[in-house]
C-alpha cells in the first residue's frame, strides 16, 4: 500500500524496485553510498540545529555525530550482507568532504533560529489513504508564522522539475497546516548541501496550491491502483545506478514469480505494499 511519501516516490521512480522492496521484501544486494553519506550528514546537521537552543555544537562535535552515523551504517550494511559500494571514494576522502559540507552548513544557518523540533512525525489522509512520514525541521518564525525545511544532500543543484513538481512539499505543507491549526503563514524550503569539491548550501523556497493538492490526490489513487493491480514495470534510467536490486532485475522476469491478478483491486495472497 502507498502509506508514505517515500513509498509514493519509490513507486513513481521505479515500480519494479517498489515491488522488490515493499511487496517481495527482497534482500538488498548493496547499500548505496549516497544514502549512507546523506543520512550521516543529515544526523550531524540535525544535532547542530537541536543544539542551537543550548550551546551550538562546534565543527568537531558535528564530525563526531557524522562518524557515529557512518560507523552505524557500516555495521548495519555488514549485518545485512549488503556492502556499501565506496566506488572511487575512500572513507578518508568522504570524511574530508563531510567536514567541508558541515562547515558550509554551519556558516549558512542563523544561530538564532528557533527550531521547534526535528524529525517530526506527520500523518495526512489524502483521498482516503493515510500517509505517514517525518518532517525534517520545523522553524518558528514568530507571530504564528512557521517554516518547514527538508534537508537534501545532492551531487548537484536541485533540478527545476523537482522544485516545481515534487509532491513532498504538497504533503508536508498540508500536514503541517492541519497540525498547527492553520497558522498565519506557513512556508516550505529545501536546504540543499552539494557534495561538490567546494560544497554549496542553498535554500530554495517552494510554494504549492490547491491544484497541486488535487494532483497529489489523483497521483496517490493511480499509484495505489497500480500496486493493487500488481503493475510493476521497470523504469530504466538514472535510478538504476546504485539500485539495490539491480542483479535481481537483470533476468527477463527478475527472479520474481509471475504475478497472478485474481481480480480487480485484488492480489493473490493478499500481500500489499
List residues near ligand SF4 by CB under 6 A: 14, 16-17, 234-236, 239-240, 243, 245-246, 249
Q: How far is the CB of 233 from ligand SF4 (least distance, A)?
A: 8
Helices (H), 109-231: 160-165, 167-179, 210-228
Q: CB-wise, 125 or 255, nearer to ligand SF4?
A: 255
Q: How far is the CB of 126 from ligand SF4 (least distance, A)?
A: 25
Q: Which residues pair with 125 in a beta bridge?
A: 130
Q: CB-wise, 3 or 235, nearer to ligand SF4?
A: 235
**149 phi and psi angles, rounded to 5 deg:** -125, 135
How far apart are alpha carbons 56 and 60 in whole angstroms?
A: 11
Q: CB-wise, 143 or 257, nearer to ligand SF4?
A: 257
- The DSSP output letter for 270 is G
Q: Residue 195's closest CA among 93, 73, 82, 109?
A: 93
Q: How far is the CB of 256 from ligand SF4 (least distance, A)?
A: 11
> What pairing do the DSSP bridges indicate for beta strands 201-206 and 145-154?
unpaired
Q: CB-wise, 21 or 114, nearer to ligand SF4?
A: 21
Q: How far is the CB of 138 from ligand SF4 (least distance, A)?
A: 32
Residue where the block lists cell 565506496:
86
Q: CB-wise, 143 or 241, nearer to ligand SF4?
A: 241
Q: How far is the CB of 10 from ligand SF4 (least distance, A)?
A: 10
Residue 133 Rama label (left phi>0; alpha psi -120 to 50; beta): left
Q: Residue 166's closest CA among 236, 216, 241, 225?
A: 216
What's the distance, CA 64 to chain centroid?
A: 23
Q: How far is the CB of 58 from ligand SF4 (least distance, A)?
A: 40
Q: CB-wise, 20 or 172, nearer to ligand SF4?
A: 20
Round the CA-based radius of gyration of the chain to a whole number and report it. 20
Amino acid at each position: 500500500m502507498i502509506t508514505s511519501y517515500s513509498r509514493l516516490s519509490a513507486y513513481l521512480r521505479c515500480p519494479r524496485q517498489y515491488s522488490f522492496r515493499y511487496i517481495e521484501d527482497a534482500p538488498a544486494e548493496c547499500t548505496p553510498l549516497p544514502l549512507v553519506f546523506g543520512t550521516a550528514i543529515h544526523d550531524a546537521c540535525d544535532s547542530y540545529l537541536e543544539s542551537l537552543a543550548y550551546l551550538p555544537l562546534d565543527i568537531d562535535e558535528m564530525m563526531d555525530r557524522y562518524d557515529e552515523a557512518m560507523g552505524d551504517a557500516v555495521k548495519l550494511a555488514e549485518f545485512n550482507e549488503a556492502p556499501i559500494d565506496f566506488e572511487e571514494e575512500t572513507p578518508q576522502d568522504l570524511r574530508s568532504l563531510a567536514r567541508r559540507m558541515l562547515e558550509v552548513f554551519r556558516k549558512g544557518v542563523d544561530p538564532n533560529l528557533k527550531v521547534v523540533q526535528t524529525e517530526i512525525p506527520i500523518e495526512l489522509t489524502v483521498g482516503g489513504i493515510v500517509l505517514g512520514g517525518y518532517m525534517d525541521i520545523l522553524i518558528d518564525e514568530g507571530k504564528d508564522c512557521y517554516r518547514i525545511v527538508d534537508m537534501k544532500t545532492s551531487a548537484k543543484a536541485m533540478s527545476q522539475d523537482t522544485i516545481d513538481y515534487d509532491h513532498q512539499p504538497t504533503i508536508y505543507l498540508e500536514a503541517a497546516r492541519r497540525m498547527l491549526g492553520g497558522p498565519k503563514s506557513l512556508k516550505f524550503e529545501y536546504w540543499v548541501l552539494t557534495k561538490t569539491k567546494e560544497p554549496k548550501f542553498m535554500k530554495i523556497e517552494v510554494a504549492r496550491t490547491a491544484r497541486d493538492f488535487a494532483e497529489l490526490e489523483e497521483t496517490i489513487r493511480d499509484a495505489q491502483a497500480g500496486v493493487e493491480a500488481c503493475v510493476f514495470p521497470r523504469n530504466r534510467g538514472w535510478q538504476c545506478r546504485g539500485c539495490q536490486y539491480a542483479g535481481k532485475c537483470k533476468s527477463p522476469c527478475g527472479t520474481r514469480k509471475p504475478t497472478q491478478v485474481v481480480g480487480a483491486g485484488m492480489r493473490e495472497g493478499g500481500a500489499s505494499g
